[in-house]
Structure formats: structure tokens, C-alpha cells
Amino acid sequence: MMRFWAGLCGGLILACGASAAPGLPAAADLGAEAAAAARAGGPLVVLYSRADCRYCETVKRDYLKPLAADPRYARRVVVREIGQDRATPLVDFAGGRTTHAAFAAREKIHLVPVVAFYGPDGRQLAAPIVGALLADFYPTYLERALDQASGALKKP
């Protein structure tokens, strides 16, 4: 498993350039995005980030972009980004209009990066991953949280 992640991450870094960290799609309608993920059997994965956060770029480039491309997860999860420092319009889980920054504040996001796992009702399905943690273990933390979140979706 670790070889898979290392190979995938290494290949993407070479393909994209070591300093390039392409963005994730910005969250636009959390309820619709989480419902699409749940229909596929997985959670809505949200990265809370800031433009000036180099650790956020690492999480995007090394873990979440490869996750979105991994055949085991690509059809099961929806991955989006919410900018803690952005006024980008957003529809929350209840259909209310807000912004990325206001929603992040409402979710009590103080330090970034944070990777959170949501169901269609806005309930967090697994404990969020806060910080960049240890690179050697991050794929394992991510995989465990995804398994837990997917399992929570199946429970009534």
C-alpha cells in the first residue's frame, strides 16, 4: 500500500513539476456535492486551506489529488476545497448562502490544513485530519478516515 502511494505521488510530482500544486475544485454547493458522493458510496472530502499555507499545498499535491485519481476512490468520493481566507460564495448543507471564510469560521477551523469528511446532511462522518502530520503516515490516516466515513454512511 505504501509503495502504491509513494509511486503515485512521485509520478504526479514529476508530471506536474515539483513546485506545482494544482488546486482542487472549490466547494460551491456542499449539500449537492455531499449527496453526489453519498450516492457513489463515499463522503464529501473537504480540504480547508489558505492561499499562504505551504502545508495545504503539500496535502493537495501529495495526497488529495492522487486520491481523486485513485481508481479505488475516484468514483466513491468527491473532493473539494474551502478557502478559509476567501470570500468565494458557497451554499451550505442546509441550502443557505454563505462564503468559504464564513463557513470555515462556523466549522471552527482555526489552523489549516484540515481535511474533513461529510455526509449529505452535513454531519462529519470521521474525525478530521488536522495539520500535515507525518508524511510517512498521512496516507494511512487518510485511508482510515475514508473507510470510517464510508462505513458511517452505510449505517442508518
User: What end-to-end distance do the CA atoms of the chain give, in Å?
Assistant: 31
Q: Phi, psi at residue 151, to the nearest 5°?
A: -65, -40
pLDDT on residue 134: 77
pLDDT on residue 156: 64
pLDDT on residue 13: 36
Domain layout of the chain by residue ranges: 2-154
Segment 127-153, tens digit of pLDDT: 999 998 777 899 999 999 999 999 999
Predicted TM-score (pTM) of this structure: 0.84
Give me the helices (H) in 28-132, please: 30-39, 54-59, 65-69, 100-106
58 pLDDT higher than 50? yes
Query: Which pLDDT band holds residue 82 (cuts at 50, 70, 90)?
Result: very high
What does pLDDT average to over the chain? 87
Architecture of domain 2-154: 3-Layer(aba) Sandwich (3.40)
* Closest C-alpha among 129, 125, 66, 69 to residue 93: 125
The whole-angstrom separation of Cα 43 and Cα 46 is 9
Identify the bridge partners of residue 48 per DSSP, sorted by sequence position. 82, 114
Element (DSSP H or E) covering residue 80: strand 78-83
